[in-house]
Structure formats: C-alpha cells, structure tokens
Amino acid sequence: MLPLQPPLAPPPHSWFRRRLIDPFVDLLRTGLSPGQLALTVALGVVFGLVPTFGITTVVSVTVALRLRLNVAAMQLAAHLMSAFQLLLLIPLLRAGAWLMGEGHQVAHLSLRSLRRLIHHEGWGAAGRLLWRAQLGALLLWLLAAIPLVVVLYFGLRVVFRRVLARLAPAAQPAN
C-alpha cells in the first residue's frame, strides 16, 4: 500500500501580486463596491501625480475621508505614483513656466541656472520664477487630472466588476 502524499503547496505569489493585486481584491471581498474602489484608485493615481511635493498624503486622506472612500487604498494608489511624479515634475514645471510667461528662463532649468539667477537677480527673482512655474504646473495638472480620473474610473470600474464576478461563488444548481 502506498502512503498518501500531502498535496503540494501552491507556489508563493509574486511581490506584485501580494502587494498590489491582493489588497484591492481583499477590498472587493470586504464589501467595497467596484465603483467605490475604482473612484478610490483613480483619485489616488491623480493625487499621486500632483507636481508638488509634500501634499499627496494630506490631500488624498482629506478627499478619501470626505467622500467616504478607503483611505488605505487611496494612499497605496497615490504613493505607487511617486516615480511617475518625479519623472513628470521638471517637464510640468517647464511647461507651467512657459504657460505663465516665464518660459525663456526655465527652458533649461537646472541647479546651475537657478544659482545664476539667484546670484544676478536675487532670491526674489528665483522665488517668483519658481512660484509661477509651480502655479502653471498645477494648472496643467488640474486640466489633465479631470479627464484622467474619468477614464480611470470607468475603466477600473469594469475591471473591478469582472474581478468581483469571478470571486463570487458559483451559483449552486437547484435540486
């Protein structure tokens, strides 16, 4: 007689699955609707791309609490965008400066050019330049954020509905 072998354990999930996919699936299992989760993630992505450092957490927590969305899911989505926020910062500042009429000074924005501006024209000139560039970058972000939230919301809502339908127990046949 052959001894019974215990079933093999499934292979461990990847880091991506454990840290990104499973938390959102768990939220669907706990009763968060696909629409709520889609809005949470869409807003988190957009807040994660804001071209200003230090406000992502405060803004996303405030909005999540105000709209009664999941704070942790919004924080996860927002902070996953950090690399993209860094990649977009300088281009948005340059475009913002151009939009606000300061494009000639920011076309080649670098630490060296900023030092030169401070040395020749003072801290006030550098502050005005960066303020106007930041204001223009925020305006451009806002213009892009609105359609991005709409597209992400409707796209993710479909995805989360399919995931929820797949997670729902199969209907038992009637006897």
Is 6 inside any structural domain?
no
Domain membership of residue 93 (yes or no) is yes
In a domain, 120, yes or no: yes
pLDDT value at residue 173: 45
User: pTM of the full predicted structure?
Assistant: 0.76
Query: What is the per-residue pLDDT across 113-158, written as a single tens digit (0 to 9) for each?
Result: 778 878 888 888 778 878 888 899 999 999 999 999 999 999 999 9
Instruction: Look at residue 68 and tell me if it is in a domain.
Output: yes
Residue 34 lies in a domain: yes
Domain count, the chain: 1
154 vs 93, more confident? 154
Confidence of residue 6 (pLDDT cuts 50, 70, 90): low
Q: Is residue 143 part of a domain?
A: yes
More confident residue, 62 or 111: 62
**What range does the domain containing 95 cover?**
22-167
The pLDDT value recorded for residue 104 is: 62
Q: Is residue 69 part of a domain?
A: yes
**Residue 172's pLDDT is what?**
42
* Residue 43 pLDDT > 60: yes
Q: How far apart are CA 78 and CA 42, in angstroms?
A: 9
Q: Which long-range contacts (CB under 8 A, 24 or more apart) does 81-86 make?
A: 81/44, 81/45, 81/48, 81/49, 82/48, 84/48, 84/49, 85/48, 85/49, 85/50, 85/51, 85/56
Given a cut of 70, is residue 90 above it in pLDDT? Answer: yes
Q: Does some domain include residue 107?
A: yes
Confidence at residue 106, expressed as pLDDT on a 0 to 100 scale: 62
